[in-house]
Amino acid sequence: MRSRVVIDASVLIYATFVDSEHHDEAYSVLQRHDIVIPYVVLYEYLWALAKLTREVEVVKTKPDELSDFPFVHEDLSVIRRGISMLKEDGAPLSMINDYIILSMAMSEGALATYDKALRRLAAKRQVATIT
């Protein structure tokens, strides 16, 4: 089975804003790979858009624009594993979403992110990263 790439909110944000530093690369990730979007990433993305644009109409359009991509629910085993890794690493609770995303990437096969801390966590757990 072909592995799927879990993306985090940073990829979606860079792909959204044409004038952003990594726009072309992030957009290419979305087009070239078999990606999945965990719901926790969708929530983070919408929250970031709300903060960056302060425009409800912009935020409102994004779920429909992403409808071609598969969304995945984080089941309890993914969440438990994320919390266990967070505890094992002695990481702050503020990183819980990153650990849940990492746990999902461990299940799916790979991770795409521009978040340096999340990339380090993926490398530590030998999860392939893209970007």
Query: What is the second-level CATH architecture of the domain 4-122?
Result: 3-Layer(aba) Sandwich (3.40)
- Given a contact cutoff of 8 angstroms between Cβ atoms, the answer to whether 96 and 82 are in contact is yes
For 109-118, how does the pLDDT look when each residue is reduced to its tens digit (9 = 90+)?
A: 999 999 999 9
- Residue at token pair 């969440």: 79
87-106 pLDDT, tens digit per residue, is 999 999 999 999 999 999 99
- Sorted by where each begins, the domain ranges of the chain are 4-122
Confidence of residue 131 (pLDDT cuts 50, 70, 90): confident
Closest C-alpha among 103, 98, 97 to residue 82: 103
pLDDT tens-digit map of 13-53: 999 999 999 999 999 999 999 999 999 999 999 999 999 99
**Residue-level pLDDT at 2:** 59
What 8-state DSSP symbol labels residue 95? Answer: G
pTM for this model (two decimals): 0.94
> For 58-87, how does the pLDDT look when each residue is reduced to its tens digit (9 = 90+)?
999 999 999 999 999 999 999 999 999 999
> Is pLDDT above 60 for 1?
no
